Amino acid sequence: MVWFDESRLDDETALAAGGLRLRTLAEAGARVRREVGGCADAIAEAVSRSIESRPRAVIAAGPDSRLLRAVLEPFCPVPFVAWPSPSLPGWAGSLDLVVVLAPEGGDPGTALAVAEAARRGCQLVVAAPPGSVVAEHATGRWTTLLPTSTGDQLATAVAMLSFLDQVHLGPTADPEAVADALDTVAIGCSPHRDISINPAKMLAISLADAAPLVWGGSVLAARAARRIAESIRRTSGRTALAGDAEHLLPVVEAARPRNVFADPVADGTGDRRPVLVMLDDGVDDAVVRDQRQRLEDAARSHDVRIEHVASEATGEVARYASLLLSGTYAAEYLRLGLVAD
């Protein structure tokens, strides 16, 4: 039988067992600074090539293009396409900018897309480790390689977004603001902070005997919700859902009345009721307000607990990074607290 022992979240021996994973999370801000600092000269070169003329369209190629889509679609002043397949749209050519994130640099499909972009004469900016398969294909007169080293998707994306910000094709993406936001979360969610003042540990306790439903209203908050749900599933092996309001409302409304006398671990699985985790990145348009209100009203009427995770960081990318890291910390503390008899 697996159960959650919250005392492990403040136990030095238990925390030491998860030290590597928690240290990796704590170093997220440092990885952003390392990547952007190492790419500074290459970013300046790419900006000098791009600043004089605006591309007809921006194409984000490769499997990691979805993160760029979440950031750029609401802001990009030219047509934007996320193209995760190992090729490019048939119309892509010399008038277009192709950007590629390849944190590991070993995906052959991404390498094919990079080679095709270079062959067609597209302006091409690739963030990948030097010497990797993708980097080897990033050659050509109009190609710039942003040399990365950490293998971190977010840090690699921030380096690319810094370039796109400087050529006025994306939102403000101040790398230092992103790194500071990550550092703030790492301090607040540190394993050395007691449960009573540690938001990630408290959220992990709330998730321990529940089925998490994670919601984010904006495009970026919704992406953070999906990533956090993935982390919870990976660390706990339990169901965790992320989706829009219309996807989560039926689950909330189907919640059975709470039995205050039930033993949540009596049968080895427990009656895991939903808990609604709402991510707030400060976007407050009419659609987001409506979805938030509908979810909160349904949760209250069906006695479903609501947990709020908010970020007050500066900039859309920094708030996304802050929400994602907060949820990932909670998922790791959930892993740490689960024990088997």
Mean pLDDT over residues 240-264, rounded? 84
- The secondary structure element, H or E, covering residue 143 is strand 143-147
Q: Is the Cβ–Cβ distance between 145 and 139 less than 8 Å?
A: no
pLDDT of 266 > 70? The answer is: no
Query: Within 13 Å, how many C-alpha atoms sit on residue 188's CB side?
Result: 20
At a CB cut-off of 8 Å and minimum separation 6, what does 315 contact? Answer: 171, 172, 173, 174, 177, 178
Tell me if 18 sits within 8 A of 336, measured CB to CB: yes
Candidate from 15-19, 216-220, 300-304 with smallest mean pLDDT: 15-19
pLDDT at residue 270 greater than cutoff 90: no
Domain ranges in the chain are 2-27+178-340, 40-147
Residue from 112, 114, 140 nearest 126 by CA: 114
Computed over its alpha carbons, how large is the radius of gyration of the chain?
A: 22
pLDDT in tens, 308-337: 999 999 999 999 999 999 999 999 999 999
Strand 2-4 relative to strand 338-340: parallel, antiparallel, unpaired? antiparallel
Cβ density class 66-102: b for 16+ within 10 Å, e for less = ebbbbbbeebbeeebbbbeebebeeebeeebbbbbbb
Is 265 a residue whose pLDDT tops 60? no
Q: Do domains 2-27+178-340 and 40-147 have the same CATH topology?
A: yes
| Residue percentage of the chain with pLDDT more than 90 | 78
Q: Dump pLDDT digits (tens) for 75-115.
A: 899 999 999 888 899 999 999 999 999 999 999 999 999 99
CB atoms within 10 A of CB 220: 25
Number of residues that make up the chain: 341
How high is the pLDDT of residue 267? 46
Q: Cα(312)–Cα(129) distance, rounded to whole angstroms? A: 32
What secondary structure letter does DSSP report for 270?
-
> What does the mean pLDDT of the chain come to?
92
To the question of domain 40-147 being in CATH 3.40.50.620, the answer is no
Distance from the Cα of residue 334 to its chain's centroid: 18
At the second CATH level, the architecture of 2-27+178-340 is 3-Layer(aba) Sandwich (3.40)
Say what the pLDDT of residue 86 is: 84
1 vs 213, higher pLDDT: 213
Residue 291 confidence (pLDDT) above 80 = yes
Exposed / middle / buried, residue 36 (Cβ in 10 Å: 0-12, 13-18, 19+): buried
Contact status, residue 147 vs residue 132, Cβ threshold 8 Å: no
Angle between helix 153-166 and 316-337 (nearest 10): 170
Q: How far apart are CA 293 and CA 91, in angstroms?
A: 43
